[in-house]
Amino acid sequence: MTRYLEIGQIVNTFGIKGMVKINPFTDDIKRFDKLKTIYIESKKIKKEYEIEEIKYHKNMVLMKLKGINTLEEAEQLRQSYLLVDREKEEPLEEGIYYIVDLLGLPVYTDEGVLLGKVDDIFNTGSNDIYVVKNELGKQILLPGIPDVLKKVDLEEKRITVHLIPGLM
């Protein structure tokens, strides 16, 4: 499993005192309130920063980092990714998974037919959509709803789905 989890990307600066604007990669934007430190990865280099302040603006996170005090310093962090150490995270509720843990898992029907592997997962607002790609590159879009998504087994490294009429 991946040790560090991406939770957002710095997309811009905010103000003149070194604050950065973050596009969050999480369902729960308020999770940023619980963070004391964050890793920022830029050009494959990870550096830990202490968080001084968190604000929210139009579904974006505004963050002030210790040691980043000017617009120019904040500008250097643009397009960088925010990471957290998985070991320091609270356990997820049952049935909730990190996307990074699902990518690449084989997807089988409840009849044992291999459909392909999870290539991407995106959220439509009402539910997640699993993009499953077979070895020929053909994509199948599966809604992440209980009627379809029957079992996610991270230990066995497989997902079992039920194909309801109209999906294929």
> Average pLDDT for residues 151-162, to the nearest whole number?
94
pLDDT tens digit string along 54-85? 999 988 999 999 999 999 999 999 999 999 99
Rounded CA gap, 65 and 51, in Å?
5
Rounded CA gap, 135 and 152, in Å?
21
* CATH 2.40.30.60 domain span(s) along the chain: 4-87
Q: How far is CA 58 from CA 23, 61, 125, 149, in A?
A: 10, 8, 16, 32
Asked whether residue 28 carries a pLDDT value surpassing 70, the answer given is yes
| Rounded to 5°, angle at Cα 92 from 89 and 93 | 155
pTM of structure: 0.73
The structural architecture, per CATH, of the domain 99-161 is: Roll (2.30)
User: What mean pLDDT is reported for the chain?
Assistant: 91
Structure tokens at 10: 């710095």
Structure tokens at 91: 């356990």
Tell me, rounded to whole angstroms, the distance of Cα 104 from its chain centroid: 15
First to last CA, the chain: 31
Q: What's the pLDDT at 142? A: 95
Asked whether residue 108 carries a pLDDT value surpassing 80, the answer given is yes
* CATH 2.30.30.240 domain span(s) along the chain: 99-161
Tell me, rounded to whole angstroms, the distance of Cα 70 from its chain centroid: 29
Q: What's the pLDDT at 94? A: 83
> Average pLDDT for residues 116-139, to the nearest whole number?
91
Element housing 34 (H / E):
none
Structure tokens at 28: 């729960």
Q: What's the pLDDT at 138? A: 93
Asked whether residue 1 carries a pLDDT value surpassing 80, the answer given is no
* Choice between 3 and 39, residue whose per-residue pLDDT is larger: 39
The structural architecture, per CATH, of the domain 4-87 is: Beta Barrel (2.40)
